């Protein structure tokens, strides 16, 4: 209920706690040097507040843990599977639902069937694994985001929208090469920005005219639906679950990671209506994921997802969820920290290139800032910039379009005082931003570099 209180509280009591270990600054400095300045190489125990990702890091509810106990591990036709399938179809009533161990497995199965050399797959913005799974088949992945979606300071209520005219042009020219059109809701790589229902409808109409199916990458569907409810005319009085069903009704299928909005620690699925596609995908699924009624998941995981899906569309939860991310963003903005606006649903992105404007992009300001946040207060974030995207196809190192640092907020995991602490850590780093030095890469692998790259701080 929204009774107009200024304070939006966490709509849950704490049921079990996970102690955190406080290291001192010198110790953190040592651990970071041992990790060769790559935050992925830290032991998570040495991190105080972990904002590396919102994927699989949420807290499950008491109802989810109770459901875990109901998990039935029959190889085929387990009751847990039927409960999972029913929960998925309640929101996304596609004929075929194929469970997978996580989102990228759904992507791999789908694009192994529909991808291939000469094909092209448009999206508002492909997430890295989606792009990688498309490109691995020899197909091309293109991003058709609206121009505002590429501008970190431009306010727009639905910055995740697809450029419908660009889609029209692509389909008019190369429609026969397009196996499907995708929309990522919310648009993670663009800052967790939502797609409006009007845009989905317009994309749907273009797809229909060209006879192309529309698939949703629906990882953060509930956060997207909340933005539609609160920002799009005509939806204020519509229940979030109904908004989700309306989004599903515009699509022919979906890929999904249950590690995001469905509030589970693992899992995903692929769902659609096409019967011949289902036969091919199921055969591939059996090859690498498992029998199609468990698809690489334990029955208890299927149970946790089924309950999580219902909790994900609870409006008190969503009001709190979006408010807590906004709380972090508002505070950083008040401190004068350059952040991507408007704030997305799952994370706040700091513009490290502007924050550390004395550092050239090729000395990796995002990496430098992420390391500084860890040394200052044990906060782990993720560079999304030149470390991740700096290598060009010709092998040269060029600045990425932006150098961002993502503070992803795990679901139901941290309290407002944890976020107050994060804000204070950023404030302290801001006070000495001019003293931060850049980074020199001592090892950069060819692909997916951020996971295993190694660095040394440059001298003052
Ligand atoms: N699609 C989007 C939009 C995602 O954000 C992710 C994962 C995936 C697909 C792949 O799902 O991890 O279950 O295989 N994003 C995580 C992140 C890893 O940190 O943003 P997965």
pLDDT tens-digit readout, 185-204: 999 988 899 999 999 999 99
CA of 52, closest atom in ligand 1 = 19
For residue 391, name the pLDDT band (cuts at 50, 70, 90). Answer: confident
CA of 54, closest atom in ligand 1 = 19
Confidence at residue 319, expressed as pLDDT on a 0 to 100 scale: 97
Least confident of 2-11, 15-24, 272-281, 283-292: 2-11
For residue 152, name the pLDDT band (cuts at 50, 70, 90). Answer: confident
Residue nearest to atom 18 of ligand 1 (CA): 55
For the chain, the residue count is 460
Taking alpha carbons only, the member of 399, 342, 408 closest to residue 373 is 408
**Separation of CA 216 and ligand 1 centre (Å):** 13
For residue 420, name the pLDDT band (cuts at 50, 70, 90). Answer: very high
Structure tokens at 184: 């990522």
**Separation of CA 55 and ligand 1 centre (Å):** 7
For residue 446, name the pLDDT band (cuts at 50, 70, 90). Answer: confident
> Could you give the 3-state DSSP secondary structure of residue 359?
coil
Residue 1 has pLDDT above 80, yes or no: no
**pLDDT tens per residue across span 216-258:** 999 999 999 999 999 999 999 999 999 999 999 999 999 999 9
Bridge partner list, 441: 455
First and final C-alpha spacing in the chain: 53
Confidence at residue 259, expressed as pLDDT on a 0 to 100 scale: 98
Confidence at residue 189, expressed as pLDDT on a 0 to 100 scale: 85
CA of 220, closest atom in ligand 1 = 3
Residue nearest to atom 11 of ligand 1 (CA): 103
CA of 259, closest atom in ligand 1 = 13
Distance CA 124, CA 139 (A): 17
Distance CA 107, CA 102 (A): 9
**Separation of CA 25 and ligand 1 centre (Å):** 32
User: In whole angstroms, how far apart are CA 271 and each of 95, 132, 256, 289?
Assistant: 7, 20, 8, 15
**Separation of CA 258 and ligand 1 centre (Å):** 9
**pLDDT tens per residue across span 276-296:** 999 999 999 999 999 999 999
Please check whether residue 436 is in contact with residue 372, taking contact to mean a CB–CB distance below 8 angstroms.
Answer: yes
Bridge partner list, 162: 145
Residue 273 has pLDDT above 90, yes or no: yes
Higher-pLDDT residue of 6, 264: 264
Distance CA 350, CA 215 (A): 30
Taking alpha carbons only, the member of 20, 18, 101, 15 closest to residue 65 is 15
> Which residues form ligand 1's pocket by a CB distance below 6 Å?
53, 55, 102-104, 127, 129-130, 184, 188, 217, 219, 257, 259, 268
Please check whether residue 219 is in contact with residue 256, taking contact to mean a CB–CB distance below 8 angstroms.
Answer: yes
Confidence at residue 190, expressed as pLDDT on a 0 to 100 scale: 82
Residue 112 has pLDDT above 80, yes or no: yes
Q: Could you tell which of 136, 219, 296, 410 is best to mutate to test the pocket of ligand 1, judged by most ligand atoms within 8 Å of the CB?
A: 219
Mean pLDDT of 22-35: 97
Confidence at residue 26, expressed as pLDDT on a 0 to 100 scale: 98
Q: Are strands 120-123 and 140-143 parallel, antiparallel or unpaired?
A: parallel
Neighbours of 254 (CB within 10 A): 27
Percent of the chain with pLDDT over 90: 91
């Amino acid at each position: 209920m929204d009774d107009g209180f200024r304070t939006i509280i966490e709509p849950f009591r704490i049921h079990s706690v996970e102690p955190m270990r406080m290291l001192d600054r010198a110790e953190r400095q040592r651990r970071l040097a041992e990790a060769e300045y790559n935050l992925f190489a830290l032991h998570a125990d040495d991190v105080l507040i972990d904002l590396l990702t919102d994927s699989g890091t949420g807290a499950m509810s008491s109802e989810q843990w109770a459901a875990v106990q109901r998990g039935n591990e029959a190889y085929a036709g387990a009751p847990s599977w039927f409960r999972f399938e029913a929960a998925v179809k309640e929101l996304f009533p596609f004929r075929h639902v194929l469970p997978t161990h996580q989102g990228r497995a759904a992507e791999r199965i789908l694009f192994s069937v529909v991808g291939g050399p000469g094909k092209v797959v448009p999206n508002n913005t492909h997430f890295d694994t989606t792009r990688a799974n498309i490109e691995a088949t020899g197909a091309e992945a293109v991003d058709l985001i609206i121009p505002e979606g590429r501008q970190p300071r431009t306010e727009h209520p639905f910055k995740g929208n697809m450029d419908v005219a660009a889609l029209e042009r692509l389909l008019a020219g190369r429609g026969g090469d397009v196996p499907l059109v995708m929309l990522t809701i919310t648009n993670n790589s663009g800052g967790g920005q939502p797609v409006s229902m009007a845009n989905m409808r317009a994309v749907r109409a273009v797809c229909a005219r060209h006879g192309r199916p529309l698939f949703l990458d629906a990882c953060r569907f509930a956060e997207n639906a909340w933005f539609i409810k609160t920002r799009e005319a005509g939806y204020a009085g519509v229940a979030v679950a109904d908004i989700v069903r309306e989004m599903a009704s515009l699509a022919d299928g979906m890929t999904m990671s249950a590690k995001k909005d469905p509030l589970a620690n693992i899992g995903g699925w692929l769902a659609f209506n096409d019967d011949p596609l289902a036969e091919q995908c199921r055969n591939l699924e059996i090859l690498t994921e498992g029998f199609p009624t468990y698809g690489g998941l334990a029955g208890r995981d299927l149970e946790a997802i089924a309950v999580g899906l219902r909790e994900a569309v609870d409006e008190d939860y969503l009001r709190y969820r979006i408010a807590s991310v906004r709380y972090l963003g508002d505070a950083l903005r008040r401190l004068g920290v350059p952040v991507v606006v408007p704030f997305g649903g799952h994370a706040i992105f700091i513009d490290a290139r502007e924050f550390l404007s004395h550092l050239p992009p090729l000395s990796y300001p995002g990496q430098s800032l992420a390391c500084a946040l860890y040394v200052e207060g044990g906060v782990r974030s993720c560079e999304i910039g030149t470390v991740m995207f700096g290598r060009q196809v010709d092998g040269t190192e060029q600045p990425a379009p932006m150098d961002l640092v993502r503070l992803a907020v795990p679901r139901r995991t941290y309290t407002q005082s944890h976020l107050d602490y994060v804000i204070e850590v950023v404030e302290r780093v801001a006070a000495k931003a001019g003293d931060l030095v850049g980074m020199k890469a001592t090892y950069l692998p060819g692909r997916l570099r951020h996971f295993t790259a190694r660095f040394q701080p440059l001298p003052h």
